[in-house]
Amino acid sequence: MLARLFGRRDERSAAAADSLYRAVVEAARRPVFFAELAIPDTLDGRYEMVALHAYLLLRRLKRDHPATAGLAQAMFDRMFVDFDNSLREAGVGDLGVGRRVKQMATGFYGRIAAYDAGIDGSNLEDALRRNAYGTVATDDGTLARLAEYLRLADRGLATQATSGFLAGRVSFPEVA
């Protein structure tokens, strides 16, 4: 069924994407983000952490484009199938799911642009304040700590071999 929705995919890419996505979710669900870094432990907060980790991985995969293009697309597709399923499990009606997933996708692309500008420049904390925290107030020290984690993760992913990603392996650092 997914092949019909998203076109024919290489099964190895699909399996690797599934493993990578599971690693993204595992990293995003670390209690430190919610307990120490004050990310709201809500559907929105969990989305933000998955989006942040997916962004980091997709940024790294983009570096080796076209070798990783199929894998990046498969991981992106896997993520949004999961978002769709999560909305349905949360009780969002069939008519509202498509609209909400479209909003999530649009928001994700906005986060990519904001995080790219921030991680490559000096306004990462502002991007995190707007996205990861939304309307929740946080202090500058917490923002700086999350920004440092992003930079550390970005550098760590840059050192990981493309062959590992293609085999479905990725490692995210611990939060300092």
| CATH number, residue 48 | 1.10.357
Q: Is residue 2 part of a domain?
A: no
Q: Is residue 114 part of a domain?
A: yes
- Is pLDDT above 50 for 173? yes
Q: Dihedral sign, CA of 124, 125, 128, 129?
A: negative
- Is pLDDT above 60 for 9? no
- pTM exceeds 0.85, yes or no: yes
Q: Is residue 118 part of a domain?
A: yes
Distance CA(51)–CA(108), nearest Å, equals 7
Q: Is residue 168 part of a domain?
A: no
- Is pLDDT above 80 for 7? no
The tally of domains found in the chain comes to: 1
Max Cα separation, the chain?
47
> What pLDDT does 176 receive?
83
Q: Is residue 173 part of a domain?
A: no
Q: Residue 16: which domain range?
A: 11-163
Q: Is residue 3 part of a domain?
A: no
Q: Indicate the range of 3-12, 61-70, 71-80, 142-151 predicted with least confidence.
A: 3-12
Q: Is residue 19 part of a domain?
A: yes
> What pLDDT does 1 receive?
42
Q: Is residue 81 part of a domain?
A: yes
DSSP secondary structure letter of residue 174: P
Nearest to 54 by CA among 33, 80, 32: 80
Band of pLDDT at residue 10, cut at 50, 70 and 90 = low
